[in-house]
Amino acid sequence: MSDELTHTDDAGEAQMVDVGDKPDTARRAVAEGTIHLQPSTIEAIRGNEVKKGDVLATARIGAIQAVKHTWETIPMCHQIPVTNVDTDFDVADDHVTLQVGVETTGKTGCEMEALEGVTTGLNVVWDMVKAAEKDSDGQYPDTRIEGVKVVSKEKREL
């Protein structure tokens, strides 16, 4: 690994990496994460009985929106042309796993977009079910998001 920093200039000031000379390539990144919930909350999600509405549909929209706005929230990310976003929820007895795939054609990858989609999608799930998850003290002793990671990334010439 190079000792040279890529996001600072010679004076140590933050800068965006110049990707202008790189060739366009087709890229895909997939990220995933899991939110742990009480079994009764999972049943409410499955039965579409959460008072705020359809949890997974809302989380899907939130994930897609987050993907499209990643460049606005992560300072050194380039604004990329997102060509596709797919979301997949796996609802188990005590958790929901969300996988987000992002595709682009351009000069830089889309891992951060996939990660932003996962974290926001899972945060939307939490927001939608928080009333059911709170204990008598208003705390969330069992609710947690974990395992957020990039599962895969691909790059191929056009």
Cβ neighbours of 115 (radius 10 Å):
23
d(CA 117, CA 103): 12
Active site residue 86: no
Our CA angle for 98, 115, 54, nearest 5°, is: 35
Residue 65 is inside which H or E element, if any? helix 55-68
The sign of the dihedral angle between the CA atoms of 66, 67, 69, 75 is: positive
Instruction: Catalytic residue, from 10, 21, 88, 127: name it.
Output: 127
Provide the annotated active-site residues. Answer: 127
